[in-house]
């Protein structure tokens, strides 16, 4: 959550490279080949990392949601998001593709969703085949790492840079599941600029296209508002922390010795520290998107009734 003053300072972020339009066409052309769509979201930003174009693209194709990087997210918030999706009738699981947590649950869920289609083939006299799934998600959400974990080998090219996977790849997962990997796609325009900002925080948008100093300051301001104890613990603040994001960035730089001649803070070095440590989970388990208020209230009422 961000206050009104912070929202005024949010930069305009747009990123829709040509290869992403090509990726969209690739998805639309190959959708008929799969039984199930697995939408991979970042557990730290489940709403901001959900591509609103996908619902229109996949239409009535069975889909499930996998909240990846759950090891970096607030576990309570992750549970709330899983309940939210399941309450909408969407199968959802939390996973950590790097450590392999939730892999069996993910595969079982995908096979279950595909079963009506695969059993239909057999009932018509066709030879039984593996369930076919398409993994979709924005850049740098962890698709390649997930496939590599499922396949047990480096099958898909993985990198900590958005937009690395460019062409479709079929990858066999055991005898019951085939995965079609596709490039990550963002959307042409962020209607809510806080969405673009959160994508920048997590590295889904290329760091070279925005003002890193401004974005890093806004990240610190958000953490100061929602997770102040994490900043105190990580950067050893004593007493009252600055409320302004840029002042916080300078304070972090001083704490970490990012000084140049004259005792001036090297802001670029300080930015790198903050962004890298946030993305690696060193600032603690953080979720920046909250479940929609109306749904959260409904879930709380249902718990009280029970």
**Full pLDDT tens readout for the chain, 306 residues:** 555 444 445 555 555 556 667 777 878 888 888 999 999 999 999 999 998 878 788 888 999 999 999 999 999 999 999 999 999 999 999 999 999 999 999 999 999 999 988 888 778 877 888 889 988 888 889 888 898 888 885 555 544 444 444 456 678 887 788 888 777 776 766 677 888 899 999 998 888 888 999 999 999 999 999 999 999 999 999 888 999 999 999 999 999 999 998 999 999 999 999 999 999 999 999 999 999 876 545 555 555 444
Q: Does 291 appear as a known binding residue? A: no
Domain ranges for the chain, please list them: 17-181, 193-279
Architecture of the domain whose range is 17-181: 3-Layer(aba) Sandwich (3.40)
64 beta partners: 38, 91
DSSP letters, the chain, are ---HHHHHTPPP-----HHHHHHHHHHHHHGGG-SEEEEEEETTSTTTTS-HHHHHHHTTS-EEEEEE-GGGS-HHHHHHHHHHHHHTT-EEEE-BTTTTBTHHHHHHHHHHHHHHHHHHHHHTTPPP--EEEEEE--TTSSHHHHHHHHHTS--S---SSTT---S-EEEEETTTEEEEE------S--SSHHHHHHHHHHTSS-GGGS-HHHHHHHHHHHHHHH-HHHHHHHHT--SPPPSSHHHHHHHHHHHTT-EETTTEE-HHHHHHHHHHHHHTTTT------PPPHHHHHHHHHHHHH-
Q: Does 280 appear as a known binding residue? A: no
Q: Does 68 appear as a known binding residue? A: yes
Q: Does 140 appear as a known binding residue? A: yes
Q: Does 143 appear as a known binding residue? A: yes
CATH for 193-279, options being 1.10.760.10, 1.10.1580.10, 3.30.160.20, 2.40.30.10: 1.10.1580.10
Q: Does 71 appear as a known binding residue? A: yes
3-state secondary structure 45-63: CCCCCCCHHHHHHHCCCCE
Q: Does 145 appear as a known binding residue? A: yes
Q: Does 144 appear as a known binding residue? A: yes
Q: CA 186, 189, 194: angle at the middle one, nearest 5?
A: 90
Q: Does 97 appear as a known binding residue? A: no
CA 98 to chain centroid, in Å, comes to 14
Q: Does 101 appear as a known binding residue? A: no
Q: What pLDDT, on a 0 to 100 scale, did the predictor assign at position 290?
A: 94
Sequence-distant (≥ 6) Cβ neighbours of residue 147 within 8 angstroms: 135, 155, 156, 171, 179, 181
Question: Taking every pair of C-alpha atoms in the chain, what is the biggest distance, in angstroms?
Answer: 80
Q: Does 195 appear as a known binding residue? A: no
Give the pTM. 0.83
């Amino acid at each position: 959550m961000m206050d009104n003053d912070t929202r005024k300072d949010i930069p305009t972020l747009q990123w829709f490279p040509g290869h992403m339009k090509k990726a969209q066409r690739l998805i639309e052309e190959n959708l008929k080949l799969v039984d199930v769509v697995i939408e991979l979201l970042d557990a730290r930003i489940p709403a901001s990392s959900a591509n609103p174009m996908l619902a229109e693209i996949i239409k009535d194709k069975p889909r499930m949601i996998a909240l990846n990087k759950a090891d970096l997210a607030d576990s309570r918030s992750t549970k709330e998001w899983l309940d939210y999706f399941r309450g909408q009738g969407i199968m959802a699981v939390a996973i950590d593709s790097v450590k392999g947590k939730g892999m069996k649950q993910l595969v079982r869920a995908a096979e279950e969703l595909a079963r009506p289609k695969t059993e239909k083939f057999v009932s018509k006299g066709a030879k039984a085949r593996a369930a076919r799934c398409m993994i979709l998600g924005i850049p740098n959400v962890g698709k390649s790492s997930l496939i590599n974990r499922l396949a047990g080998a480096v099958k898909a090219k993985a990198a900590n840079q958005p937009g690395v996977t460019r062409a479709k790849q079929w990858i066999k997962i055991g005898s019951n599941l085939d995965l079609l990997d596709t490039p990550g796609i963002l959307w042409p325009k962020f209607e809510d600029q806080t969405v673009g900002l959160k994508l920048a925080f997590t590295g889904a948008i290329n760091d070279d296209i925005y003002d890193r100093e401004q974005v890093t300051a806004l990240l610190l301001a958000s953490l100061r508002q929602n997770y102040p104890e994490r900043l105190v613990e990580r950067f050893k603040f004593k007493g009252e922390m600055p409320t302004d994001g840029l002042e916080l960035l300078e304070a972090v730089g001083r704490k970490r010795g990012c000084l140049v001649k004259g005792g001036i803070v090297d802001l670029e070095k300080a930015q790198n520290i903050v962004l890298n440590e946030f993305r690696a989970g060193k600032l603690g388990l953080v979720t920046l998107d909250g479940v929609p208020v109306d749904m959260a209230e409904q879930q709380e009422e249902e718990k009280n009734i029970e």
